[in-house]
């Protein structure tokens, strides 16, 4: 039986990575409103620091995760300075590193063609994708913002993946008719797609 994903005691069949997050040696008092921001190997014209700031402005405490390739597109030190948390891109072994608070929402942005397909098909061969699959399984609200060129988006696997993610109950922000330079929506549209924070001003 699996609980609601927020109460460690109700969960008895977790993969170790989320159990490690929920029940680490020093669980973090998150006070609600924790957003996991998952980035991948695609550029973001407005910048990930600006996305973090916009999420924080909307009342979220942001923790950044990245695919291994995604770390080449960000400045982890800058994001750590902004969030107070290291960017996590690797599974950690029990007893090492620091736990993170449980997520109240997840934002996968930008998510590459590759990672969209892997998420939809459950190919959890890196920490970030494993985390996305697991968060969706717990029913944590997930917003997916793919970023890929039309030539990749026209691949039949991509459309099927978007449909799968949609059928899983996730919010997907992707406009196949968007102009090339607007393939990624503006951050304000991304923020609007997040759940509303109950205690946000
Ligand atoms: C400069 C550069 C820009 C890229 N832009 C994109 C992109 O916008 N969308 C995309 O799907 N892949 C893009 N890629 C390719 C991905 O980085 C590549 O498919 C990678 O394997 C994705 O890994 P990940 O999904 O694990 O992050 C880009 C690669 C480079 C080097």
Tell me the percentage of the chain whose pLDDT exceeds 70: 82
Q: What is the DSSP letter of 70?
A: G
d(CA 197, CA 182): 27
Pocket test for ligand 1, best of 38, 45, 112 (most atoms within 8 A of CB): 112
CATH architecture label of 8-193: 3-Layer(aba) Sandwich (3.40)
**pLDDT tens digits, one per residue of 49-106:** 999 999 999 999 999 999 999 999 999 999 999 999 999 999 988 888 888 899 999 9
Predicted TM-score (pTM) above 0.85 = yes
- Give Cα separations from 128 to 84, 122, 150, 180, 196 (angstroms): 19, 12, 24, 27, 24
**CA–centroid distance, residue 152 to ligand 1 (Å):** 11
Q: What is the DSSP letter of 192?
A: H
Q: Is 184 in the pocket of ligand 1 (CB under 6 A)?
A: no
Report pLDDT for 73.
98
How confident is residue 114, by pLDDT bands cut at 50, 70 and 90? very high
Take atom 3 of ligand 1 and give the residue whose Cα is closest.
42
**CA–centroid distance, residue 89 to ligand 1 (Å):** 16
How confident is residue 180, by pLDDT bands cut at 50, 70 and 90? confident
**CA–centroid distance, residue 163 to ligand 1 (Å):** 21
Give, in degrees to the nearest 5, the angle at Cα 68 between 63 and 72.
90
d(CA 147, CA 167): 20
Read off φ and ψ for residue 77, nearest 5 degrees: -65, -40
**CA–centroid distance, residue 129 to ligand 1 (Å):** 15
**CA–centroid distance, residue 41 to ligand 1 (Å):** 4
Number of H helices, E strands in the chain: 8, 5
Q: CB within 8 A of 36, min separation 6: which ones?
A: 63, 65, 103, 105, 106, 107, 131, 135
Cβ density class 96-133: b for 16+ within 10 Å, e for less:
eeeebbbbbbbbbbbbbbbbbbbbbeeebebbbbbbbb
Report pLDDT for 199.
61
Take atom 14 of ligand 1 and give the residue whose Cα is closest.
42
**pLDDT tens digits, one per residue of 2-37:** 333 333 332 222 334 454 454 444 444 556 699 999
Q: Is 41 in the pocket of ligand 1 (CB under 6 A)?
A: yes
Tell me the percentage of the chain whose pLDDT exceeds 90: 74
Q: Is 71 in the pocket of ligand 1 (CB under 6 A)?
A: no
Report pLDDT for 1.
31
Comparing 92-106, 108-122, 133-147, 181-195, which segment has the lowest mean pLDDT?
92-106
């Amino acid at each position: 039986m699996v609980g609601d994903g927020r109460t460690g005691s109700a969960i008895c069949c977790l993969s170790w990575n989320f159990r490690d997050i929920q029940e680490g040696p020093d669980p973090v008092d998150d006070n609600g409103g924790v957003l996991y921001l998952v980035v991948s190997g695609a550029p973001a014209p407005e910048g990930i620091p600006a996305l973090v700031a916009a999420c924080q402005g909307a009342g979220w405490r942001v923790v950044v995760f990245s695919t291994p390739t995604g770390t080449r597109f960000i400045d982890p030190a800058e994001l750590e300075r902004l969030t107070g948390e290291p960017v996590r891109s690797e599974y950690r072994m029990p007893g090492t590193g620091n736990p993170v608070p449980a997520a109240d929402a997840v934002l996968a942005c930008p998510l590459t063609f590759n990672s969209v397909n892997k998420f939809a098909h459950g190919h959890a061969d890196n920490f970030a994708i494993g985390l996305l699959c697991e968060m969706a399984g717990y029913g944590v609200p997930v917003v997916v913002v793919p970023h890929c060129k039309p030539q990749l988006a026209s691949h039949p696997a991509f459309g099927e993946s978007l449909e799968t993610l949609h059928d899983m109950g996730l919010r997907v922000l992707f406009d196949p008719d968007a102009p090339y330079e607007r393939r990624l929506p503006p951050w304000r549209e991304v923020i609007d797609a997040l759940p509303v924070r109950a205690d946000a001003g």
